Amino acid sequence: MEKEIGKINKGEYQGAVTDIVIGIKEYNGRIGIDIREFVTSERYTGPTKKGLRIPAESFQKFKEMINSISEEDIKEEEPTEPKEEPKENKDSELPDY
How much is the pLDDT for 95?
66
Beta-sheet strand order (sheet of 16-27): 2-13, 16-27, 30-40, 45-55
How much is the pLDDT for 16?
93
Q: How many CB atoms lie within 10 A of CB 79?
A: 6
Residue 5 to residue 32: CA distance in whole angstroms: 12
Q: How many CB atoms lie within 10 A of CB 18?
A: 17
Tell me the CATH number for domain 2-59.
2.30.31
- For 46, which DSSP code? E
How much is the pLDDT for 82?
66
Full-model pTM:
0.67
- Strand 2-13 versus strand 45-55 pairing type: unpaired
Residue 55, pLDDT > 80, answer yes
